[in-house]
Amino acid sequence: MRLAICYPPIPSDKGTPLLSQNRQFQWFHRQTAIYPVVPASAATLLRAHGHDVLWLDGIARGLTPEAFWRELETWGPDAVFVETKTPVVKFHWAWIRELKRRLPHCKALIAGDHVTALPEETRRNAPVDAALMGGDYDFALLSWAEGRDVPVDLAALPQIDRTLTRWRDYATRNGNFLRTPGAYLMSARDCWYARCSFCSWAALYPTCRTRPVAHVLDEIGGLLDLGAREIMDDAGSQPVGDWLRTFCEGLLSRGYAKRLHLDCNQRFGALSLADYRLMRRAGYRMVLFGVESANQATLDRLNKGLVVEQIRQGARDAAQAGLHVHITLMLGYPWETLEDARRTVALGRELLRRGHAHTLQATWLVPYPGTPLFRDLQASGGLLTEDWDAYDMRAPVMRCPLTHAQINALISQAYRAHLQPRPLLHAAARALANPGHLLKSASALLSHLRDFR
């Protein structure tokens, strides 16, 4: 079978969509490209089973719709797969209708957290041949292509074919990378906690599966051979405990620690100072943590499983071990007052001022279908709209005591925390390692301020 894995371009005056491999959708003025690990694994697995695969990411490559259609039609697929997300699901319904008009015999497959939550809605609105459920697109696609149930076993997956999936298209335009070219992998699907009520990927991957340490180390070895200089492990929360210790020892014994920068997502409260020190020795550069809110009542309502003191302690420990600490904040909770929201911004600013965090990201809270947060708000009449186009952080979709302008002002204020003396010094130190990065960080900051002005 000839199968195309596609991200069609989505022309919009809102900017460039950050759709692939992202738990929260956003339009950006300045394009960020994230390598979609699971679709790349799907492409690899299909080819390993003898299918012809086309990897066609029109967003990452900046293709015009015309150029994209030309490439797709010339190749002539039997089936096309697209990954979608709530704010662009209506676009994808229309795109699939167009696909069927241009290539009437081509099968259309769609997947993603929105489709997993509301498969019938997509079946009603677009002539899809299959709405794939869950996040294991590789096994789901192979099962569909071969008409048999392929058991999900991450250890049995071949190493991702990076050439087929054009990893270089995603290797530089990504603010996570201090050194480029950078690459993405996932040591697990997806998060060993998987209980936060707002997390759309917890619905995609309700049970966490971890890959064997040696399998991930082999993947890193292959990426180093390709020339990668920094690698982001984009598992929702990287595995901890014995897995992490064995992994760090492997990075050291294979000599990878000296050759790469490694980044990962992690939860506060999961690791000790000794763990962070081991990670630093093993080549880790940056750890991304979700703070979400400085208010205990909010953390509890989100089922975050955290107390505020763990945030301060964890950030302090990770920074003390020499790691770059990146934190994410969310604003616009339906139950938070202006004072509550200000407390979250103040915590972000405080962590940066003290040097316990080095960069931050602030976004609107979006209740994606499939999450407990969405279900609660829907049941209580807390949603303002179910027009999915609006779920893109551009306008309020929940009843909230704060105005749109107030939330954007708070987000801008959070980003301006980077202009305090300590974060500026830290940015200058990073610039010594990579002079181009300073320019990139400054332009990213300006772009965020523009996105939320």
Q: Between 186 and 257, whose beta carbon lies closer to ligand SF4?
A: 186
Residue 215 one-letter amino acid: H
- Residue owning tokens 């952080």: 393
Query: Minimum distance between the CB of residue 331 and ligand SF4, rounded to whole angstroms?
Result: 16
For ligand SF4, the closer CB: 195 or 281:
195
57/233 with CB nearer ligand SF4:
233
Q: Smallest gap, in angstroms, from Cβ of residue 418 to ligand SF4?
A: 23
Q: Which residues bind ligand SF4 (CB under 6 A)?
A: 191, 193-196, 199, 201-202, 236-237, 267, 290
Helix (H, G, I), strand (E, B) or coil at 360: strand
At residue 163, what is the residue type?
T
Q: Which residue, 80 or 306, is less far from ligand SF4 as judged by CB?
A: 306
Residue nearer to ligand SF4 on the CB measure, 269 or 382: 269
- Nearest distance in Å: CB 185, ligand SF4: 16
CB of 139 to ligand SF4, least distance (A): 21
Nearest CA to 418 out of 357, 335, 332 is that of 357
State how far the alpha carbon of 46 is from the alpha carbons of 55, 139, 435, in Å. Answer: 12, 9, 41
CA distance 17 to 91: 12
Bridge partners, residue 56, by sequence? 6
What dihedral angle (degrees, nearest 10) is formed by the CA atoms of 26, 29, 34, 39?
A: 60
Q: Shortest Cβ distance from residue 266 to ligand SF4 (Å)?
A: 9
Minimum distance between the CB of residue 329 and ligand SF4, rounded to whole angstroms? 13
Nearer to ligand SF4, 130 or 191 (CB): 191
Task: Tell me whether residue 106 or residue 393 sits nearer to ligand SF4 (CB atom).
Answer: 393
Q: To the nearest whole angstrom, how small is the minimum distance from the Cβ of residue 439 to ligand SF4?
A: 30
User: In the bound complex, what is the minimum distance in angstroms from residue 152's beta carbon to ligand SF4?
Assistant: 19
Q: What is the 3-state secondary structure (H, E, C) of 14-78?
A: CCEEECCCCCCCEEECCCCCCCCHHHHHHHHHHHHCCCEEEEEECCCCCCCHHHHHHHHHHHCCC
- CA 120 to each of CA 102, 126, 390: distance values in angstroms, whole numbers, following the listed order: 24, 10, 20
Sheet of strand 324-331: strand arrangement: 182-185, 230-233, 261-266, 284-292, 324-331, 359-364
Query: Closer CB to ligand SF4, residue 141 or residue 203?
Result: 203
Q: Where are the alpha helices (DSSP H) in 107-261?
A: 113-117, 119-125, 137-146, 200-204, 213-226, 242-253
Q: Which is nearer to ligand SF4, 128 or 196 (by Cβ)?
A: 196
CB of 195 to ligand SF4, least distance (A): 6
| Alpha carbon distance 379, 373 (integer Å) | 10
Q: Are 116 and 133 in contact (CB under 8 A)?
A: yes
* Strand 182-185 with 26-28, pairing: unpaired
- Which of the 8 DSSP states describes residue 156? G
Radius of gyration of the chain measured on its C-alpha atoms:
21
Q: Minimum distance from CB of 47 to ligand SF4 (Å)? A: 29
Q: For ligand SF4, which is the closer residue by CB, 208 or 346? A: 208
